[in-house]
Chains A and B, each alone.
Chain A
């Protein structure tokens, strides 16, 4: 990383209240029990659970250890720095936008700038092949994650409705639902009611009342720029500080460039770079929680004589079946002001279209989130994704306050052609830049068309005039899918790699299908389950 890449340098070495910039004097420089690469949603949960269980844990993250009070700002442009800005090459019929759109960088990972919408997946999500005859079933079922969903919700005091009318979990959530809700959310609920659709206040990883020394949300609406008051959960402010108290060490601003393997084919640890200098972290177990692009890049780049096609890749599935969610934004204009900058961006939702309905002509479904936008995000997407500029852009932005917005979260089916591979271009570490290829399938496009029409119906029923649609995507999943068959999957149901017993790959990368709702609660539930599994295996003396 170029030196001035991080305008925030909070040293690199954090444990027990120490901050030590000498990486030679690391707490576990002689070797840790567990090394976790990536301190995001999954990495944070793993670090917390495993350090609490008494393991010597080291967490390594490529980005800074943010201090919300001094590093975050109520500003979109400057807070693009929370994203993984390193250039990825993109290709395919629908090339993805990366950066702030889907990738976090630094302690907390994507949870630092996520919107906080917090769903469980439904039962059908884990058995898409059985139910709909497409894609593949997961090696785990809803019941396997159920206790972990409940645990995560309680651990971070998720707020939500008393009754949630979709899926196996019907509420109540640990904390009361947010109120009041914004004008945009209310308009959405009014539109749904007129059409006989169910809607609720959003389940959110955002506090509706004080919890764990943190205050409730003040509705400033900058969740995607990092929450200044700490009302929104992130692993940066929740799991990681607790893990440090339990003895974990966090190495921030340290880019892992290689996963190292010994002659017997076991992982010995990882190589990382800090300030142009290379270090080695030894560990008995290594867990890669580096999300969906950097995980396969690292595994493929770590190819060695024992594993010439990259680590954990005997199936050839590392980097394959990258998924996103179709996330088109649908806007309608209203006579009175809506002011979509106000309040938590998502405060009302509907999952009435979540499950397959054969009469619609496609399989699987989607969620609707009533969604706010700020000026930069809106104008930039209008230009880059909807091709609107000049006087038309100006006309829309002048009436910024008069638009209401719904964002869909549509299931995207896995496809082997959607992938992360290594390109010929090198980055500043000499690592090949990832090539990210993506295109929608026929089913994906039919689903999108259905959702866009329905969203317009809702906005029209609420008194709006359909105005424009911004084609967009959100979230990433897959590239190291789980499965029972080592010839078609990378990890088992506990995120342990089929090929290397002391290598785990645990993040959104393990997803088999994308589901039709925001994914992070499922990422965290999977991580908590993986942690339990590792603890159990250790107690058996493995």
Chain B
């Protein structure tokens, strides 16, 4: 999964951090860790989410997954709402906690072992089935809508990952841009500090 991670191998957006406003800098740098102990997730739940995240993100790097887990734990231990929830879906805390249990049960049913002990390929198949709402029938799915479970996990995982400065550097994103802004926005132009492509690339 680690091949060709970036088209901008020489670019490190954190070198620009002195040009950011204080508030933004503090927010972004916190994502590098260290992180406090989880408040909501237990160890098994955290391990399960990390395993799921590897498939969703196509990335296995621990320092990034640690931040993803930290973000999700924060979300689940906060009283702030979840914007919207489909009718018939439980509160996100229940959805994820009970959903992860159901996932283990599903793995057990289909492959004779809990999710973490199943190989990556069948793990991926299980997740694809959830995403499509087509996992093997279980009573759990009556209270834990499969698609909603997958969507909740996948969006939280993705939101955190694409907020990490390492990932920003890799995709060549300019990142925070205040107070400096952009001087050269026209087609083909870049400011001197923006990501430049690998010269070998066509």
Q: How far is the CB of B164 from chain A (nearest CB, A)?
A: 10
Q: Which residue of chain A is the closest to B92 with respect to CB atoms?
A: A87
- Assess whether B199 is interfacial by the CB under 8 Å rule: no
Chain A, interface size: which category? 35 or more
Task: Chain A residues near B39: list those with CB within 8 A.
Answer: none
A435 to B176, Cβ gap below 8 A?
A: no
A339 to B7, CA, bound (A): 13
- Assess whether A2 is interfacial by the CB under 8 Å rule: yes
B84 to A87, Cβ gap below 8 A?
A: yes
* Cβ < 8 Å to B, chain A residues 59-116: 70-78, 83-91, 95-101
- Assess whether B86 is interfacial by the CB under 8 Å rule: yes
Task: Chain A residues near B181: list those with CB within 8 A.
Answer: 218-220, 229
Q: 1/0 per position for A156-198, CB-CB distance to B under 8 A?
A: 0000000000000000000000001111001100000000000
Q: 1/0 per position for A1-45, CB-CB distance to B under 8 A?
A: 010110000000000000000000000000000000000000000
Q: How far is the CB of B195 from chain A (nearest CB, A)?
A: 8
- Assess whether B138 is interfacial by the CB under 8 Å rule: no
A98 to B177, Cβ gap below 8 A?
A: no
A98 to B83, Cβ gap below 8 A?
A: yes
User: B84 is contacted by which of A88, A336, A382 (Cβ under 8 Å)?
Assistant: A88
A184 to B63, CA, bound (A): 33
* Cβ < 8 Å to B, chain A residues 339-358: 339, 341-343
Task: Chain B residues near A88: list those with CB within 8 A.
Answer: 83-85
Task: Chain B residues near A74: list those with CB within 8 A.
Answer: 20-21, 24, 175-178
Known: A337-B197, A387-B131, A397-B162. A4 touches B84 (CB 8 A): no
- Assess whether A401 is interfacial by the CB under 8 Å rule: yes
Known: A75-B27, A384-B155. A91 touches B86 (CB 8 A): yes
Q: 1/0 per position for A202-230, CB-CB distance to B under 8 A?
A: 00000000000000001111100000110
Known: A375-B173, A380-B158. A89 touches B23 (CB 8 A): no
A112 to B71, CA, bound (A): 25
B56 to A4, Cβ gap below 8 A?
A: no
Q: 1/0 per position for B84-126, CB-CB distance to A under 8 A?
A: 1111000100000000000000000000000000000000100
- Assess whether A305 is interfacial by the CB under 8 Å rule: no
Identify the stretch in A252-260, A268-276, A388-396, A525-533 within 8 Å (CB) of chain B at 4 or more residues.
Answer: A388-396
Task: Chain A residues near B80: list those with CB within 8 A.
Answer: 2, 5, 85
Known: A383-B158, A390-B56. A75 touches B177 (CB 8 A): no
The number of residues on chain B lying at the interface, defined by a beta carbon within 8 Å of a beta carbon of chain A, is 61
The residue among B174, B180, B194 with the most chain A CB atoms within 10 A of its own CB is: B174
The residue among A100, A187, A398 with the most chain B CB atoms within 10 A of its own CB is: A398
- Assess whether B137 is interfacial by the CB under 8 Å rule: no
A338 to B6, CA, bound (A): 16
Known: A183-B186, A228-B179, A383-B158. A390 touches B124 (CB 8 A): yes
A180 to B83, Cβ gap below 8 A?
A: no
A85 to B79, CA, bound (A): 10
B154 to A384, Cβ gap below 8 A?
A: yes
User: B177 is contacted by which of A77, A221, A338 (Cβ under 8 Å)?
Assistant: A221
B174 to A391, Cβ gap below 8 A?
A: no
Known: A183-B185, A228-B21. A220 touches B83 (CB 8 A): no
B185 to A90, Cβ gap below 8 A?
A: no
Q: Which residue of chain B is the closest to A338 with respect to CB atoms?
A: B187
- Assess whether B66 is interfacial by the CB under 8 Å rule: no
- Assess whether A374 is interfacial by the CB under 8 Å rule: yes
- Assess whether A400 is interfacial by the CB under 8 Å rule: yes
A5 to B83, Cβ gap below 8 A?
A: no
- Assess whether A317 is interfacial by the CB under 8 Å rule: no
A389 to B188, Cβ gap below 8 A?
A: no
- Assess whether A376 is interfacial by the CB under 8 Å rule: yes
B83 to A342, Cβ gap below 8 A?
A: no
A389 to B7, Cβ gap below 8 A?
A: no
Known: A91-B86, A181-B185, A220-B177. A383 touches B155 (CB 8 A): yes
Q: 1/0 per position for B39-71, CB-CB distance to A under 8 A?
A: 000000000000000011111000000000001
- Assess whether B182 is interfacial by the CB under 8 Å rule: yes
A89 to B81, CA, bound (A): 11
Task: Chain A residues near B23: list those with CB within 8 A.
Answer: 70-73
- Assess whether B135 is interfacial by the CB under 8 Å rule: no
User: B172 is contacted by which of A4, A186, A387, A401 (Cβ under 8 Å)?
Assistant: A401
* Nearest 5 CB-CB pairings of A with B: A218-B181, A99-B83, A74-B176, A2-B79, A183-B187
* Residue positions of B touching A, CB distance < 8 A: 4-7, 20-21, 23-24, 27-28, 55-59, 71, 78-87, 91, 124, 131, 151, 154-155, 158-163, 167-168, 170-182, 185-188, 190, 194-195, 197
Beyond A5-B79, A90-B85, A398-B7, 10 extra complex contacts between A and B, CB < 8 Å: A75-B28, A84-B83, A100-B83, A180-B185, A180-B186, A219-B181, A339-B190, A375-B162, A383-B151, A398-B6
Sample 7 A-B pairs with CB under 8 A, ordered by A number.
A95-B86, A219-B182, A221-B177, A229-B178, A383-B151, A387-B131, A390-B55
